[in-house]
Chain A
Amino acid sequence: MAGRGMTPDASLPIPRDRYGFKKRSQNITVEEYDKWNGPYTEYLERRKVKWVALMKQYGLSTENPIRFPPKSDKVKRFIRKGVPPEWRGNAWFWYAGGPALLARHHGLYWDLIERVHNGEVSDTDRDAIERDLNRTFPDNIKFKPDLPMSSRQSSGFPADLKADSETPILRALRRVLQAFAIHNPHIGYCQSLNFLAGFLLLFLDEDEEKAFIMLNKMTNIYLPGTHGRVLEANIDIGVLMSCVRESMPAIWAKIDDTEDIAASTGSSRSSGPARLPTVSLSTTAWFMSCFLGSLPIETVVRVWDTLFYEGSRTLFRIALAIFKLGEPEIRAVHDNSEVFQIVQTIPRKLIDANILMQTPKRSRDARTVDVQKDPAPKSRFKRSISRKRGKLV
């Protein structure tokens, strides 16, 4: 079978969404996308009218606004229902405290770029970044433009065309990742930062300085340690798994294979991350990439709307909501390997962001959400996790 570039419809333009991503993914067809997108587009128009009214109420501009209303319960509801797509990047930057961060670190990014030019990026980080540049959003037109019809019909990509095809956003991505690696020696470059930074550039009009500021905030405030040279991603997973165990016991009963693992590997090796259930491997990327690649793009942007407004508890709330929405499917399986497949596939099919954002409804699950309302959930959890990891996971 031929690669995607050689499929029979190569002569037609590739159907793309409002952000330039291919509508089709492994789990969603163009038809499914269009069926959902019609009503969703009307929803976005209705929300835009409400947003315009809200902005006017606060005397704020509605033409490419850079300032947004102060936080309140009402604004939080508005955010959860989605920021208008064309204002999205500016709203993210505003609610993440971008303007103040930019003022505080005035000139920092360009100093770092100077240091990049002086060769301060380590060979390891430089090499790892290069390996990932072309593997960042190849489905987005700004990262990987459609080739002219003539070359699309030939087999593969001629070498010379490949070299020329580096787009401005890819060059910006390289600079942001290199500057970040110098500024954050405890992280350097970690796979998944390419997606975070690339997505920020896409929504911030390729403003590298803003993307850099936001990437710093995401990796140091929302997900401290997760991307570090000593990868702490399994701490996020440990927190998530303990929440699942406490709030969704029926799911936990299905996914908990830690006893089996302990029995087969011998107790000497069963401490630490090895005690996490196998299914948690499917969830590593949820945190590291803030759901990019796991949820459909339109759902990711809705999660990020809330992430920059409410902080890291959003990531845990969404992760739990995914398990909650998948509960009927997970409870129906009889074989672990099906559980892995289902937990991996559930988020990829969640094209309707509204359903995800509204889960859980006020119910007994509300307790779970309240846990996440702690002002510094992760740092607190981290401490408690390291204290009681043995019995927790």
Chain B
Amino acid sequence: MDLSRFEKLSDTAWRIAPFGAMRAPGVIYATEALIAAMDDKVFDQVANVAMLPGIVRASYAMPDAHWGYGFPIGGVAAFDPDAGGVVSAGGVGFDVSCGVRTHLTGLKRDQIVAVQQELADALYAHVPVGVGSKGKIELNPQDMTAMLAGGAEWAVQNGWGRAEDLERIEEHGRADGADPAAVSDQAKKRQRREMGTLGSGNHYLEVQEIAEVFDEAIAAAYGLVRGECVVTIHCGSRGLGHQIGTEFLREMAVSSERYGIDLPDRELACAPINSELGQRYLGAMRAAINCALANREIIGHLTRQVFARFFRHGELPLMFDVSHNTCKLEGHDADGKLRKLFVHRKGATRAFGPGDPSLPEALRPFGQPVLIGGSMGAGSYVMAGIATSESQAFSSACHGAGRQMSRHAASRTWSGRQVVDALRAQGIIVKSPSMRGIAEEAPGAYKDVRAVVDSAEAAGLAKKVAYLRPLICIKG
């Protein structure tokens, strides 16, 4: 991307001055090197989002931003319902409430390594992964409605999780305002056998070693001890969310004219928050959030069952569960006033700073855990929300490494076998139903996650807490 198109605010903040129909500026948080490597489409999409009605402050992009649909992946934008603000299906994405959770194991690296292959095989056999996998739970229509209204709380009530998990999940495991009646029969049908399934693509379940700690105090509060292992799960709302995304994207795209919204790109499909369509989407999208929260809670439960076979203390307390494809109603400072805004995070993680009342008491002084998924080889990071994140981007940070190579190019560059062997040589066991899928997810297909998190930290979005190196990776 051509840097001369930006006004440089700092080494990690670049402003797009409003032009054309833009109602607010754009701001991309990244180092010069990361920005230079970004696709020009990111610039266009950040600018396009700034053209939407009711946008507050600016259209933001995180350091891992890349070309998305309407919104860039890594895009953050907040809208004021009292100023004609919109909600956008494209600003949430197809995989509603896709997110990451991390469980603590309290187990040392050596304890995992001693059973590494057997544990990998058992996890792969017990957690349904990949296309065509069926969940162990089949929902009838009444259960479906209860799940869509209840989220992870529903999962716990049904024995697939623990009550103490709930305070470690955003919104205590249940999004308010979910409207199961706003979810189509097709979406429900698509989900009836998919509870507790991981999915495919970039979704994964990893056993990871806490290889580095950057902030001892926060790490201790989070329960992260160097040399111990955690389990991290990355997945979302499965077929239900995909179907909701598909249906509302189309409906919003064809009805924007009716609402007098001039879309610079049909993918920005949106509707006024205070409209029938906007409210219906919010009801369905929140139901999909609950589906994702329930899904991750069930996968956490399945993971505990496997660990209990290998280790006497297989409790695996939940450290935190956070989504990165959402639109949430939050109070934020805008022009010196606290306003209720609808914050879209498309491939961006909420990053509330210390003291936020929504955080569980044990974490509140330290800021919200921000879980950053890396590639299979490069590992992942735990960051913490910090005070400056609010003024920078409505308390948001990056969500992953971001691809630097298309799936097609990756599968031409590496074979799945090559990737598996190379990772095994580094002590990482990868299990997946698809060798081509592994090739497409090769570590080299992703940007350097370290550069992304360093950028986020330098930009004041979040603070590095720990680095997690994979030992076992179950890919869909």
Q: Do A and B bind each other?
A: no
